[in-house]
């Protein structure tokens, strides 16, 4: 009897936890340029235990929510009229305190000045860039030779970009690889499940 009670208790707790996660991840029924939708879309680019406590910045730069854990979630693409069709189109990311300096610098074309290595979650993926050319975000049809539109991934943003010089820049193996190698924006891309879902031609063969 005690064993049955323990099993039912475990199942109940698991269901309760799943319901909490589902409630956090459920898309709100609101316009895609609203604060509510933006908060949902950007914060779900990180695991829920990070996103639900993170600060959120709107596509226009306004603070939509003050967080408590030092992380910041935002869009890396400008918002079109009427809002983004889906989270992937916003290329949202959640940066920790160390990576904020990288995120701020990248958006304005400045050189990152970081205190330590940082991390950025992008579970919705991004619209892609040429793996070796900074500033090609979203230019999928511009004819770039090494363009990769990413699915879910995690990024390591090093304080010292040269620390990645010995790492591979090959994005077709499924292993972590360097993006923007040899530039001040060099960082390590860590593919997660369904990373190649937007560009199957690039996945390992």
Say which residues have a Cβ less than 8 Å from residue 81's Cβ, sequence separation at least 6.
none
The pLDDT of residue 11: 36
Query: Cα(127)–Cα(188) distance, rounded to whole angstroms?
Result: 17
The pLDDT of residue 10: 35
**79: DSSP letter:** P
Q: Report whether 171 contacts 153 (CB < 8 A).
A: no
Could you read off the pLDDT of 66-91 as tens digits, one per residue?
999 999 999 999 999 999 999 999 99
Could you read off the pLDDT of 27-70 as tens digits, one per residue?
887 778 889 999 999 999 999 999 999 999 999 999 999 999 99
Q: Report whether 98 contacts 114 (CB < 8 A).
A: yes
Q: What percent of the chain has pLDDT over 90?
A: 82
Residue with tokens 């619209």: 127
The pLDDT of residue 20: 38
The pLDDT of residue 177: 98
Q: Is 13 exposed, middle or buried (0-12, 13-18, 19+ CB in 10 A)?
A: exposed
């Amino acid at each position: 009897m005690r064993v049955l009670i323990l099993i039912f208790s475990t199942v109940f707790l698991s269901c309760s936890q799943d319901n909490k996660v589902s409630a956090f991840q459920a898309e709100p029924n609101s316009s895609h340029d609203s604060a509510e939708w933006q908060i949902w879309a950007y914060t779900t680019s990180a695991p829920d235990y990070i996103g639900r406590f993170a600060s959120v910045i709107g596509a226009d730069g306004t603070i939509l929510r003050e967080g408590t854990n030092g992380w910041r979630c935002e869009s890396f693409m400008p918002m079109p009229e009427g809002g983004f069709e889906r989270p992937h189109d916003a290329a949202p990311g959640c940066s920790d305190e160390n990576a904020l300096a990288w995120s701020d610098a990248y958006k304005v074309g400045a050189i990152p000045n970081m205190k330590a290595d940082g991390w950025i979650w992008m579970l919705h993926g991004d619209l892609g860039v040429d793996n070796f050319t900074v500033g090609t975000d979203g230019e999928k049809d511009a004819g770039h030779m090494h363009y990769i539109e990413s699915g879910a991934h995690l990024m390591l943003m090093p304080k010292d970009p040269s620390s990645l010089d010995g790492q591979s820049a090959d994005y077709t193996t499924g292993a972590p690889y360097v993006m923007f190698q040899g530039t001040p924006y060099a960082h390590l891309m860590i593919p997660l499940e369904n990373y190649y879902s937007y560009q199957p031609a690039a996945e390992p063969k």
